[in-house]
């Protein structure tokens, strides 16, 4: 059985995005100070490490162009197809998925900074930022506006640590929320 083009596209997109995010978060000055200037690397390795961040960003940008062309769509009879190939299973995306999996490129876990960024985008009010509180859960992060309306408790937003998915929850004690969210992720 083959996976539909939309599933393969999503998997490749998550992996390319993870590689791009890791490269963007890397500090080239720290890399230079720790590895390149220490003199412990041979010249070819020094050259590679010095340019690795830029190389990863270029490669992931190129793969993003491939993903823009080979994206899921609907065929003439309503079936899921790749818009680039016109087929139900995209050989290009399938090949990319296999290569990325072989080199263990996996979607990065959402960290606290990314959880804050996603919550900030969600909670913006009337074009203005809202102060946020972010708390850790085993499977994600809980975000709430620091200034809830009136006496009502601020609505909770959970950012899944594994997928980055957002879900809204009623206000409840953190211990109960952690248990309920674990059950929710397990499909119980």
Instruction: Flag whether 139 is in a domain.
Output: yes
What's the number of domains the chain is made of? 2
Percent of the chain with pLDDT over 90: 28
Is 95 found in the same domain as 118?
Answer: no
Residues of the chain where predicted confidence (pLDDT) is lower than 50: 1
* Single residue among 84, 102, 120 that ends a domain in this structure: 102
Q: What is the pLDDT of residue 1?
A: 37
Does one domain contain both 94 and 20? yes
Domain that holds residue 149: 112-186
Same domain for 139 and 79 = no
Residues 64-105 pLDDT 10s: 999 999 998 888 998 888 899 888 888 999 999 899 888 888
Is residue 68 located within the same domain as residue 123? Answer: no
One domain for residues 94 and 126 = no
Q: Give the global pTM.
A: 0.60
- Asked if residue 32 and residue 92 are part of one domain, the reply reads yes
DSSP letters, 68-107, are: HHS-EEE-TTS-EEETTT-SSS-HHHHHHHHHHHHTT--P
| 116 and 85 assigned to the same domain | no
The answer to whether residue 107 sits within a structural domain is no
pLDDT score recorded for residue 69: 92
Would you say residue 27 lies in a domain?
yes
141 within domain boundaries: yes
b/e map 78-111, b = 16+ CB within 10 Å: eebbbbbeeeeebebbbebbeebeeeebebbebe
- Has residue 116 been placed in a domain? yes
166: β partners = 159
Q: Is residue 155 part of a domain?
A: yes
- In the listed set 51, 69, 102, which residue is the last one of a domain according to the structure? 102
Query: Does some domain include residue 122?
Result: yes
pLDDT recorded at residue 64: 92
Same domain, 166 and 116: yes
Together in a domain, 145 and 64: no
Same domain, 9 and 98: yes
Q: Does 48 lie in the same domain as 121?
A: no
Per the domain annotation, does 84 fall within a domain?
Answer: yes
User: Cα torsion for 166, 167, 171, 172, to the nearest 10°?
Assistant: -100
């Amino acid at each position: 059985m083959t996976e539909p083009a939309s599933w393969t596209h999503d998997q490749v997109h998550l992996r390319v995005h993870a590689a791009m995010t890791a490269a963007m978060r890397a500090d080239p000055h720290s890399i230079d100070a720790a590895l390149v200037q220490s003199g412990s690397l041979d010249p070819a390795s020094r050259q590679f490490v010095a340019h690795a961040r830029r190389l990863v960003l270029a490669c992931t940008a190129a793969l993003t162009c491939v993903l823009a062309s080979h994206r899921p769509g609907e065929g003439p009879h309503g079936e899921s197809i790749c818009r680039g190939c016109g087929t139900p299973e995209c050989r290009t995306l399938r090949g990319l998925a296999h290569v990325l999996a072989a080199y263990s490129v996996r979607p990065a876990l959402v960290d606290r900074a990314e959880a804050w960024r996603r919550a900030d985008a969600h909670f913006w009010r009337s074009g203005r930022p809202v102060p946020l509180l972010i708390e850790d859960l085993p499977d994600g992060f809980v975000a709430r506006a620091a200034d809830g309306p009136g006496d009502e408790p601020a609505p909770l937003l959970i950012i899944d640590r594994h997928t980055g998915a957002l879900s809204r929850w009623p206000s409840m004690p953190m211990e109960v929320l952690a248990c309920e969210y674990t059950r929710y992720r397990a499909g119980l």
